Structure 1
Amino acid sequence: MERHFTLGEFIIENQKDFPYAKGELSALLSSIKLAGKLVNQQINKAGLAEILGKIGKQNVQGEAQAKLDVIANDIFIDTFRNRGEVCGLGSEELEDIVIFDDEIHRDSKYIILIDPLDGSSNIDVDITVGTIFSIYRRVSPVGGPVTPEDFLQPGSKQVAAGYIIYGTSTILVYTSGNGVNGFTFDPGIGSFFLSHPNIKFPKKGNTYSINEGNYVHFPDGIKKYLKWVQELNEEENRPFTSRYTGSLVADFHRNMLLGGIYLYPQGTTAPQGKLRLLYESNPMAFLTEQAGGKATNGSERILDIKPRDLHQRVPFIRGNVDMVEKAESFLSQF
């Protein structure tokens, strides 16, 4: 009979691949999977519990907050507050960092950045949403106060990153720098089991994901690229297929498994891009590269960008290497 590894068993088996102290990644991911289970539970009963819709407030990004945005954010903060793996947390939903400055957290070596509920604008119509997380080793002295510099590290310094996708099944996907693996949640047992080992982008992709409703606002290079992907060319298997849900996690997950490119460029309505470097682009870029793909802002590797502030936005293009490089070639012409 085939052995099905749980997430915890898999981490223990592969602790040699984690560059720091044994057991730390296991404990961190244990907190993440616990919070993910609680968020999943809330999403599954959202319609019955009357927690759909907006709360009438905006987050720090100026975006209308869904009720589940706030609930998911609180769940992750409370989970990490009650456990001792991290000394600080940054959330897309909060203007400032959360510092856990008490006895059980003071000697923690790690900080975490989260997008508690990516794609929450889709929650009221039952489209897939997700959670994105990014883990760094703090640069400030252990035992001392957490500093902004602990959070403003380039993505190349991540020690682990991943996402939880809440769809037809709930899947946790993560990397610690030695490949990408996915674990599907079995609600009957209450555990995540390895279901997608060693995920890699297929050699070829023919799907593109972009909000084409913003076409008029895109740079000329992106407009030219979109015309190219839509042209008829049987030898190059064009036109490509368009797939876009408005949920980064959902589009990313599909394109990584099936092959494709995801684009959220800058435009006249988003001159710096829309996606957040720390909460979305860096963790997704880490996963992309570990799965054999490429992630860029159009000219520069995402993981090389030095963050200036907690909520910095960047253009984001990621996917199969050849598809990303083709998009970059069009951008370089203008």
Structure 2
Amino acid sequence: MIDNRLAEKCDHLPADCQALVDALCRVAITLSRKIARGPLEGAFAAEVGQNTGGDSQKALDVEADLAFADAVTGCGVRWYASEEQESVLEIDPNGWLALAIDPLDGSSNIDVNVSIGTIFSVFDAKADREASFLRPAREQIAAGYFIYGPQTALILTFGAGVLHYVLDPIDLQFKLINDHLVIPENAREFAINASNYRHWSRPVRAYIDDCLAGDEGPRSKNFNMRWVASLVAETHRILSRGGIFLYPADSRPGYEKGRLRIVYECAPIAFLVEQARGKATTGTDRVLDQAAQTLHQRTGFVFGSADKVDRVTAYHDLPDQEVSALFGTRGLFRG
């Protein structure tokens, strides 16, 4: 009989979360195998509708959501909040945990064989279902993600550092390979969707212009740009190599307050990043100090190596006239 449990767990997983992590791992193993089979598994990249936030749903989005909701029954989860669900579901009235989950992050990339994943966050359950999630993000007791790529990995924190597990495809166990993952500090990479340049605020444009100016600009070094459009893939690269990710609020309709969701995406990633000695902000304010007002509230999101995130914040802190002067002097896209 296949043992789907974490192979290394006794010294690292709190007892009251162990059953939940095991259940999440079981579903992740199944999803990993389906994703690896691609079209052989069926048309799971087909669009089947829209979720409550207006994003298109793939068939595998819906399947993953149902699988996780079913798997956590009997694992101490009272409340289940999913990016694919409009409202919070009650799983077990006697449960003590509240689970927020993006069952399949980056699903727009399913059909192009790019790494996608599952993001999750755990709080202590309150009596009120929504209040269990609409609270300061720093109150999370656990957060993590699975990434389904050339390797299937689990990145996990309980607030005492970041654990990195890799799924062994031979015995189907997640095996601990690093019990203290830390973001490298010296990377020269930034991740942003540059096609939206004209919509960004001047502080964001000024920061990117300085990166693009390379060793002839004020940063005196050359940078590489990355953009995968899969949050788990972007996060995994930064945790592995360092750098910075920016998905700022911008002037497009529907993007004025950012695009990524606080509860399902930004809060858990911010928890992981800070535990790995990085920083995560809305562009100006620490994400872990934010409390979503609604389940699907969105925000701008900037995270990565601490010094780089601090520099973005500093650009936002400058008076408007100073940012305008920087932009006028160094803007690379002025026409």
Q: What is the TM-score when the length of structure 1 is the normalising length?
A: 0.90
Select 1:254's aligned residue among 216, 234, 237: 237
CA distance in 2, matches of 1:69, 1:86: 21
1:303 and 2:294 aligned: no
Q: Which of 169, 192, 196 does residue 151 from structure 2 map onto?
A: 169
Partner residue in 1 for 2:51 = 59
Q: Distance in 2 between matches of 1:190 and 1:94?
A: 30
Q: What is aligned with 2:35?
A: 43
Show CA shifts across 1:91-144 (max 9, x none): 0111111112xxxx222110100000100001111100000000000122xxxx
1:185 aligned to 2:167?
yes
Letter in 1 for 2:250: G
Q: Can you list the C-alpha shifts for 1:67-87, whole angstroms capped at 9, x where unaligned?
A: 111111111111113x33201
State yes or no: 1:74 paired with 2:66: yes
One-letter code of the match for 2:230? S
8 Å CA contact 2:7–2:174 kept in 1: the answer is no
Pairwise CA RMSD: 1.7
- Alignment of structure 1 residues 148-163 onto 2, 5 Å: 148-163=130-145
By how many angstroms is 1:40 displaced? Answer: 1.2
Count residues in correspondence. 313
Question: 2:32·2:152 contact (CA, 8 Å) conserved in 1?
Answer: yes
- The one-letter amino acid paired with 2:76 is E
1:95-174 paired onto structure 2 within 5 Å: 95-100=86-91, 105-140=92-127, 146-174=128-156
- SS of match in other structure, 1:183: strand
Give the superposition deviation at 1:88.
Answer: 1.2
Give the CA deviation at 1:241. 0.8
Residue pair 1:7, 1:194 contacting (<8 A) in 2 also: no
Gaps (5+ residues) in structure 1? 1-5, 141-145
Question: Are 1:91 and 2:88 an aligned pair?
Answer: no
Identity %: 34
- What CA deviation, in whole Å up to 9, does each residue of 1:278-304 have, x standing for no partner? 000000000000000000112211011
Structure 2, gaps ≥5 residues long: 321-335
State how far apart, in whole Å, the 2-side matches of 1:84 and 1:7 are.
Answer: 14
Rounded to whole Å, the distance in 1 between the matches of 2:221 and 2:165 is 33
Q: CA deviation at 1:7?
A: 6.8
State whether structure 2 residue 10 is matched by structure 1 residue 12. yes
Letter in 1 for 2:94: D
User: 2:170 and 2:221 mapped to 1: Cα distance?
Assistant: 43
The structural deviation recorded for 1:9 is 5.2
Distance in 2 (CA, whole Å) between partners of 1:14 and 1:122 is 33
Measure, in 1, the Cα distance between the counterparts of 2:135 and 2:97: 12
Contact 1:230 1:238 (8 Å CA) reproduced: no
The Cα offsets for residues 152-202 of structure 1, whole Å up to 9 and x where unpaired, read as 121100000000000001000100000001110012101001123311011
Partner-residue secondary structure (3-state), 1:300: coil
